[in-house]
């Protein structure tokens, strides 16, 4: 078999390490073979390439050195940071920013914009894309220049020796070289220089290089320049990736309505595209429009019945809409698709419990406990504790909440529930300690403040109870019990 054909076949089957090995052997015999050089460059990029759209989350620089804020106090419904909190917060849990939890974990879904330095020191990168290449059975060996030479004990490409002007005039080499500089070497300066020269060589008629220039500007934090490049690329050639990048810039500048307009414009050119529909659903979910978000996720399922995110989010929406039977159908579909995670079995156990299918509840939770890691184990024990409360076994519930704290000492919900159980037993001091800890760990939750306020009201500390119930209403203004307690305290103070 021709070694180059073998390398191309390995690349198509996503065996990138083996492809790099074959290409290295070919380059040792002929270091100037441009075809092999280009293929090895692509294989090296695919090993570490991340999705620029999905796997991107704000880091420390975006928090501390952000100068793209339009208005410090935006109008309601026009900002993700000040989105209206959900009305059913008492039943659907929320993240630290007050947003309802999503049905699937993704960058930015578990929390809002980082507000402290410690929160900003987390920049996960996930996902990877693969792109096939084309090859012909008969080829001509194209010889390159000395800048293509690489040492066996050094880097594959010596960036300092590159003559970017020569490569910019050859699109077949310039494009894989740009991706190598951008993803593999993370040399944004050289990558942008190459893209600028290639764009000039194409007489500003190649939309691809405008897209590359926009990606470089975005990586450097020059959002307005990046936006101009993406809009110019769309005028020449509408592409789904360009719409997604342009919407991401609007979200980065906290302009969700502008991002929605970009997605809708993209749907006019590409009707029914799942990536654009998913983007609209995510924004609606972040803004608190949960029913509208579920509607768009259903549109995604109409186009792609195996879309994992849409299935999970619709299932979660049905569960918190008091429809566990419908939610069970969607989670069972995920199980049939081969997804056997601890989170899925945990959700299946909850759906079976509330759908009164008790024979399957314990089995699902046992599988969830067996598959759970340290991060998920606390949540599973917490849900098992609620299962114990539902069947009336208070001692088992107490043990489950303590086990949740053993797995995660910062689990605020377990502290709150332990405080309630201690208060019912008459242990006032222990209950107060649990409520104070829960309120410190999760200041966005209204339950610890309300429970602590009720405890203070029973013990006669009415002034503290008044302050705490006001804090509870600040986090969740629609809580009826907090309103009643506040009215009672106000009436008492007026009589005095």
First to last CA, the chain: 96
State both tokens at 425.
């037993």
Question: Mean pLDDT by 10-residue block, N- to C-terminus, for the chain (496 residues)?
Answer: 89 92 90 88 89 64 52 62 53 60 63 46 35 34 46 66 85 90 90 93 92 94 93 94 94 91 95 94 89 94 93 92 92 91 92 90 93 88 92 92 92 92 91 92 86 86 83 77 80 74
- Residue 130: count of CB within 10 angstroms of its CB: 11
Nearest CA among 198, 205, 259 for reference residue 227: 259
d(CA 46, CA 485) in angstroms, rounded, equals 60
Of 202, 204, 253, 190, nearest to 226 by C-alpha is 253
Tokens of residue 315, six digits = 């299932």
Say which residue the tokens 């390398």 belong to: 7
Cα atoms in the 13 Å half-sphere on the side-chain side of 318:
23
Domains and CATH numbers, the chain: 1-56+125-134+141-185 (no CATH), 202-270 (1.25.40.10)
Task: Give the pLDDT of residue 496.
Answer: 67
DSSP string, 159-217: GGG--HHHHHT-HHHHHHHHHIIIIIS--HHHHHHHHHHHHHHTTT--HHHHHHHHHHH
Reported as type and span, the H/E element at residue 339 is none
Find the angle CA(106)-CA(266)-CA(132) to the nearest 5 degrees: 65
Token digits for 492? 């008492």
CA dihedral 349, 351, 356, 362 (to 10 degrees): 0
Contacts 24+ apart (CB under 8 A), 427-432: 428/455, 428/459, 431/455
CA-nearest of 372, 430, 420, 375 to 397 is: 420
Q: Which residues contact 429 (CB under 8 A, 6 or more apart)?
A: none
Q: Which residues does residue 33 pair with via DSSP β-bridges, in sequence order?
A: 143
Distance CA 473, CA 445 (A): 10
Token code pair at residue 42: 């692509």
Distances (CA, A) of 89 to 20, 155, 411, 445, 477: 52, 54, 18, 9, 10
Phi, psi of 421 (to 5 degrees): -65, -40
**Non-local CB neighbours of 281 within 8 Å, separated by 6+ positions:** 293, 294, 296, 297, 300, 310, 313
Count of other CB atoms within 10 angstroms of residue 8:
21
Per DSSP, the three-state class of 3 is: helix
Site of tokens 């989170």: 343
Angle at CA of residue 220, ends 215 and 221, nearest 5°: 95
Nearest to 383 by CA among 407, 355, 349: 349
- CA 221, 101, 317, 79 torsion-angle sign: negative
Tell me the CA distances in angstroms from 319 to 209, 274, 354, one per residue in order.
46, 24, 9
3-class secondary structure per residue, 443-473 = CCCCHHHHHHHHHHHHHCCHHHHHHHHHHHH
Q: Which two tokens stand for residue 350?
A: 């909850």
Distances (CA, A) of 359 to 64, 363, 368, 400: 52, 7, 15, 20
Q: What pLDDT score does 486 carry?
A: 79
- CA angle 323-326-328, nearest 5°? 105
H helices of 30-170, in order, are 34-48, 60-64, 117-120, 164-168
What is the reported pLDDT for 11? 92
3-state helix, strand, coil in the chain (%, to 5): 65, 0, 35
- Rounded distance between C-alpha atoms, residue 10 and residue 129, angstroms: 16
């Amino acid at each position: 078999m021709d070694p180059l054909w073998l390398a191309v076949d390995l690349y198509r089957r996503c065996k990138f390490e083996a492809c790099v090995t074959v290409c290295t052997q070919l380059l040792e015999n002929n270091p100037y073979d441009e075809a092999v050089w280009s293929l090895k460059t692509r294989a090296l990029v695919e090993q570490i390439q991340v999705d620029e759209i999905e796997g991107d989350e704000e880091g420390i620089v975006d928090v501390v050195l952000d100068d793209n804020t339009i208005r410090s106090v935006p109008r309601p419904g026009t900002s993700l940071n000040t989105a209206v909190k959900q009305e059913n917060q008492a039943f659907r849990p929320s993240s630290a920013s007050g947003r309802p939890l999503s049905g699937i974990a993704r960058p930015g879904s578990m929390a809002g914009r980082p507000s402290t330095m410690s929160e900003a020191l987390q920049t996960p990168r996930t996902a990877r894309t693969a792109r096939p290449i084309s090859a012909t059975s008969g080829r001509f060996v194209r010889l390159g220049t000395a800048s293509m030479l690489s040492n066996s004990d050094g880097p594959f490409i010596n960036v300092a020796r590159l003559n970017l002007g020569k490569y910019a005039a050859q699109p077949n080499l310039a494009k894989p070289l740009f991706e190598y500089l951008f993803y593999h070497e993370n040399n944004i300066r050289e990558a942008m220089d190459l893209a600028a020269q290639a764009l000039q060589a194409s007489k500003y008629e190649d939309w691809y290089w405008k897209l590359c220039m926009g990606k470089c500007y975005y990586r450097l934090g020059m959002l307005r320049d990046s936006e101009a490049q993406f809009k110019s690329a769309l005028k020449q050639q509408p592409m789904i990736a360009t719409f997604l990048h342009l919407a991401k810039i609007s979200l980065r500048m906290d302009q969700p309505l502008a991002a929605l307009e970009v997605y809708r414009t993209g749907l006019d050119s590409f009707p029914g595209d799942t990536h654009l529909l998913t983007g609209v659903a995510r924004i609606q979910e972040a803004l608190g429009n949960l029913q509208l978000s579920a509607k768009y996720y259903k549109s995604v399922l109409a186009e792609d019945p195996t879309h994992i995110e849409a299935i999970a989010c619709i299932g979660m929406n049905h569960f918190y809409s008091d429809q566990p039977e419908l939610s069970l159908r969607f989670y069972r579909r995920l199980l049939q698709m081969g997804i056997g995670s601890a989170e899925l079995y945990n959700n299946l156990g909850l759906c079976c419990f509330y759908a009164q299918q008790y024979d399957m509840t314990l089995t699902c939770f046992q599988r969830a406990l067996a598959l759970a890691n340290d991060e998920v184990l606390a949540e599973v024990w917490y849900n098992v504790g609620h299962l114990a409360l539902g069947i009336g076994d208070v001692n088992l519930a107490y043990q489950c909440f303590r086990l949740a704290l053993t797995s995660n000492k910062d689990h605020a919900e377990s502290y709150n529930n332990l405080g309630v159980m201690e208060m019912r037993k008459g242990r006032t001091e222990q209950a107060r300690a649990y409520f104070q800890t829960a309120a410190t760990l999760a200041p966005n939750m209204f339950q610890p403040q309300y429970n602590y306020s009720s405890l203070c009201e029973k013990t006669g500390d009415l002034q503290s109870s008044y302050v705490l119930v006001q804090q509870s209403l600040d986090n969740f203004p629609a809580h009826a019990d907090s309103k009643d307690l506040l009215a009672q305290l106000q009436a008492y103070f007026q009589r005095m």
